[in-house]
Chains A and B, each alone.
Chain A
Amino acid sequence: MSDPTRTASRSVLGTVLMVALIATACGGASTDPTDTIEVTGAWARSSPMMAMAGAAYMTIVNHGDSDDALLAAAVADTVAGTAEIHETRPAEGEPAESMGDGGDTAPLMEMVHVERIDVPAGATVVLEPGGLHVMLLDLVEPLTEGAEIELTLTFETAGEVVVTAVVGDGPG
């Protein structure tokens, strides 16, 4: 069931569905829903043997009345050297569409370090494959299916939020 959930998240409608799904199914990987900032469905893709980098994904909900922003992510040095917030996106000047019907203009995808991810009041922001993600650099050892890694997220207003990301092929 993990794959349909993850792939559905690539559409706006799917995002809503995914949030609903995760809210009901993935209590283990969620923060306290009564907090202003709630993080659900945190997961990290199982990493190939000897891969140096990994990626973690999650859904961030701001239940509060004021805007917030994710500023940084950290991970224990037993898991990875550093964690950074990254975004995979079409490079500047590239078509935003993944590909035209003629098939001749697929965008050049670049990965950039982002300083902050804004999470406006009442908004839900999804970190998902092909978009925003927490990149884990210099992995100490491969991320194996079923393992749990602790991520410390630093928000501008809410401060530190600790989430557990489950290693697998998709959320939940």
Chain B
Amino acid sequence: MPLPLRLLVGVLALLTAGCGATGPPELAGVVRTPALEVASVRLPAAEDGRPVAFQADPGELLIVYFGYTFCPDICPTTMGDIRAAVADLPDDLAERVSVVFVTVDPVRDTPEALERYLGNFFDEAVTARTEDLDDLQAAADAFGVRFEIPEPDPTTPNYAVAHTAVTYVVDDTGTVVVEWPFGFERKPMTADLQALLTKERL
């Protein structure tokens, strides 16, 4: 769908949200059929190595993004949009949303770098980091994330890591309930989160 159309869909979703509609919430983002199940994915937390589960706490939502701190353009743009989208939620809903950032650049993204980077956007965000690229690939595969770390080259310390730039929203069963491609507007993000957090099941 072209971006302008997406905008329109987003605006429509926003306008119709809260109109007392019954049934599953209409979401502005991409809803995959069948839905991705990521409950079994585990990666170590950057901070202390404890396993991070890709499953929200009961009644909550988990926002998952694969990126890297050296990325100056799309990653901070997305993080900024997510921060703004969550901030626009009523407080009682915002506190039911958590964020996990998975680094696709574990060599340069030290635990300290990740903590400082995410701390710029969120008071509390979990960062997942593994230097075992097979484990990272397995986690990425579960989400349909692709990334390409270039071959080490001492002459280009400022290398870029190509990666897909999709934001995933996971519910308390470990199901990816909606995906936001890069450039997705913050307002329909907020509308999607609100719809998901206020539907009857939660």
Contact = CB atoms under 8 A, between A and B. Distances in A.
Nearest to B165: A109
B32 A11 contact: no
A117 to B, nearest CB: 15
B199 interface: no
Contact of B30 (A101, A137, A169): A101
Contact of B166 (A55, A99, A101): A99
Interface stretch (B15-23, B49-57, B72-80, B127-135): B72-80
Interface stretch (A44-52, A68-76, A149-157): A44-52
Given A55-B72, A109-B74, A130-B74, A50 B116 contact: yes
Contacts of B1: 97, 101
Interface stretch (B37-45, B89-97, B155-163): B155-163
A88 B76 CA distance: 13
A156 to B, nearest CB: 24
Given A48-B69, A107-B164, A53 B179 contact: no
Interface in A16-57: 45-55
Interface string B180-202: 01111110000000000000000
B59 interface: no
B72 A104 contact: no
Interface string B21-41: 000000000111100000000
Contacts of B186: 3, 7
B121 A103 contact: no
A2 to B, nearest CB: 10
B4 A99 contact: no
A98 interface: yes
A101 B30 CA distance: 6
B107 interface: no
A3 B186 CA distance: 9
Contact of B183 (A91, A102, A130): A130
A136 interface: yes
A7 B185 contact: yes
Interface string A80-106: 000000101001000001110111101
Nearest to B79: A48
A85 B185 CA distance: 25
B162 A45 contact: no
Given A88-B74, A129-B73, A109 B121 contact: no
A1 interface: no
A104 B148 contact: no
A108 interface: yes
A51 B117 contact: yes
A83 B111 CA distance: 27
A99 B30 contact: yes
Contacts of A137: 158
A51 B70 CA distance: 6
6 contacts: A10-B183, A13-B4, A98-B181, A101-B1, A104-B32, A111-B162
Given A10-B3, A98-B181, A102-B32, 5 more contacts: A7-B185, A48-B118, A49-B116, A52-B69, A111-B73
Which 6 A-B pairs have CB atoms at the shortest separation, nearest pair first?
A: A48-B120, A99-B181, A110-B162, A103-B30, A98-B181, A53-B72
